[in-house]
Amino acid sequence: MTTVHEPTTTSAPAGAPVWPASTTEPVRGDLAVGGVPLAEIADRFGTPVYVLDEAEVRARCRTYRDAFPDADILYAAKAFLCRAMAHWTAEEGLGLDVCSAGELELAVTTGFPPERIVLHGNAKSPRDLDTALRLGVGRIVIDSPGEIARLAAAVGPQGRQKVMVRVVPGINAGGHEKIRTGTDDQKFGLSLTDGHAAHAIARILGQPQLRLTGLHCHMGSQITSVRPYVVAVRRMVGLMSRLHAQHGLVLPELDLGGGHGIAYRPGDPALDVTDLARRVRTELAEACGRAGIPVPRLVIEPGRAIAGPAGVAVYRVLAVKHTGRTVFVAVDGGMSDNPRPALYGVRYAPRLIGRRGTGGPARVTVAGRHCEAGDVLATDAELPGDVRPGDLLAVPAAGAYHLSMASGYNLVGRPPVVAVRDGLARLLVRRESLEDVRSRDVGL
């Protein structure tokens, strides 16, 4: 048995790992994760199926805890949330970052401590706020001026709620324009440059029901450079310094959000968490020293960087078709379980599993089963030339923003999630069935 760090037929240079650390190749052409062969999981649970390596999730939580020992680490639930994920992250000492009453209630009913949860979002519904207050959420991030009075009224004259303010730092960072949130031309937060953030903070200070504990910023997703975070620290500390001078305000927390990029294909860059921690802590200490204010406690919100590399999607090939110069390999999933290629044009490196390919390498397009020309999971993917119907394909780095953004398109049903660890596989989330679809359709 051999350990597989980059089980791929491409010639890309070595980069961040795209497969879980537990990935091995017990038999040539087959892969196992967490000691369980992926082909065995496909036979047992059907396809498509998502495999989540529990040990990888926990190890990545500990990596953040070790890199930021004096910070609060919040797992960003939007990347992927189920009861087991909430349980694992809680056991590893992380808090939780949620965006809705649904995410919040799932976590709390699983046993996640509500005081370790932060709620944010650009358009929180009355139910979101009511649920957060009822369950005793630790922080609510104010995203717009209108939320201040709404939240104060919901808290009531005798209540108290800790809040943060989401500040737009004016930094352009992220892997695609649709996931960049640090500039003034998008829907999140209050601008640092035009004074809206400072004005909102002054209003919050006039609300005795609201206790302002710190500032929050988030620049986007799939960021692989440390520099945007260093610049964000500098700008946020500048605002904190001005607030101290104007109001005598000393804020104890600074939330830098998440957006930490991972590798999806061999050779892709990924954010170096250790380097991030070192440079952010240094810049924070120096900037606060220059400003003459205390160093706030950092809050970090990784999501993709914890769940993404821990997940593997497994599909079965349904058809192989030659159209002009393109070879289409169609699988039994697609944009209903992974919309990211259609939304952002992202690229993956699928691999044939379950048997050893005998054909030479061929460039193919791995397509989904849905009625959209844009339903493509991987373009210019390298697979054995003898790939055929019935084969299994595994897609690494599939743990984040796949099932969390899955849809009911074509009523195909969302795939199950299976956890693996120490040679055992167990079902976490069952496959969505036709009966599930019928039970929601109550009219005729």
Which DSSP string corresponds to 349-399?
A: --EEESS---SPEEEEEEE-SSS-TT-EEEEEEEEETT--TT-EEEESS-S
pLDDT of 258 above 80: yes
Query: What is residue 40's three-state secondary structure?
Result: helix
| Residue 441 CB contacts under 8 Å (≥ 6 apart), including other chains | none
What are the helix and strand counts (H, E) for the chain?
Answer: 12, 22
With bands split at pLDDT 50, 70 and 90, how would you rate the model's confidence at 184?
low
The 3-class secondary structure across 377-391, one letter per residue, is EEEEEEEECCCCCCC
Q: Is residue 246 part of a domain?
A: yes
pLDDT of 163 above 70: yes
CATH number, domain of 44, equals 2.40.37.10
Per-residue pLDDT at 11: 27
Give ∠ CA 5-11-17 in degrees, rounded to 5. 25
Distance CA 25, CA 418 (A): 19
Q: Is residue 444 part of a domain?
A: no
With bands split at pLDDT 50, 70 and 90, how would you rate the model's confidence at 185?
low
Per-residue pLDDT at 171: 74
With bands split at pLDDT 50, 70 and 90, how would you rate the model's confidence at 3?
very low
Q: Report percent pLDDT > 70 for the chain.
A: 93
pLDDT of 143 above 50: yes
Catalytic residue check, 61: no
The parent domain of residue 29 ranges over: 2-53+309-439
Q: Are residues 278 and 172 in the same domain?
A: yes
With bands split at pLDDT 50, 70 and 90, how would you rate the model's confidence at 173?
low
Q: Are residues 393 and 407 in the same domain?
A: yes
Q: Are residues 74 and 104 in the same domain?
A: yes
What are the strands, taking DSSP E only, across 64-220?
A: 72-76, 95-98, 117-119, 139-142, 161-168, 190-191, 210-216
Place of tokens 């400072």: 198
Per-residue pLDDT at 303: 97
Q: Is residue 328 part of a domain?
A: yes
Place of tokens 């046993």: 111
Work out the average pLDDT over 318-336. 95
Q: Are residues 304 and 429 in the same domain?
A: no
Per-residue pLDDT at 7: 38
Q: Are residues 49 and 93 in the same domain?
A: no
CATH number, domain of 225, equals 3.20.20.10
Q: Is residue 334 part of a domain?
A: yes
Per-residue pLDDT at 20: 97
Q: Are residues 194 and 314 in the same domain?
A: no
Q: Are residues 343 and 199 in the same domain?
A: no
The two structure tokens encoding residue 144 = 């717009």
Domain count, the chain: 2
For residue 379, which phi and psi values (nearest 5 degrees)? -100, 150
CB 4, CB 25: distance < 8 Å:
yes
With bands split at pLDDT 50, 70 and 90, how would you rate the model's confidence at 250?
very high
Per-residue pLDDT at 252: 97
pTM (2 decimals)?
0.93
Distance CA 341, CA 59 (A): 28
Q: Are residues 187 and 222 in the same domain?
A: yes
pLDDT digit string (tens) for 35-69? Answer: 999 999 999 999 999 999 999 999 999 999 999 99
CB 169, CB 232: distance < 8 Å:
yes
Q: Are residues 222 and 335 in the same domain?
A: no
pLDDT of 438 above 70: yes
> Which one has a higher pLDDT value, 324 or 307?
307
Q: Are residues 112 and 153 in the same domain?
A: yes
Place of tokens 């943060």: 164
Choice among 61, 82, 217, 371 that is catalytic: 371
Work out the average pLDDT over 285-311. 97
Mean pLDDT score of the chain, rounded to an integer? 91
Q: Are residues 249 and 372 in the same domain?
A: no
Per-residue pLDDT at 172: 60
Among the candidates 262, 287, 308, a domain finishes at: 308
Among the candidates 308, 341, 367, a domain finishes at: 308
pLDDT of 21 above 90: yes
Work out the average pLDDT over 160-164. 97
Q: What is the DSSP letter of 318?
A: E
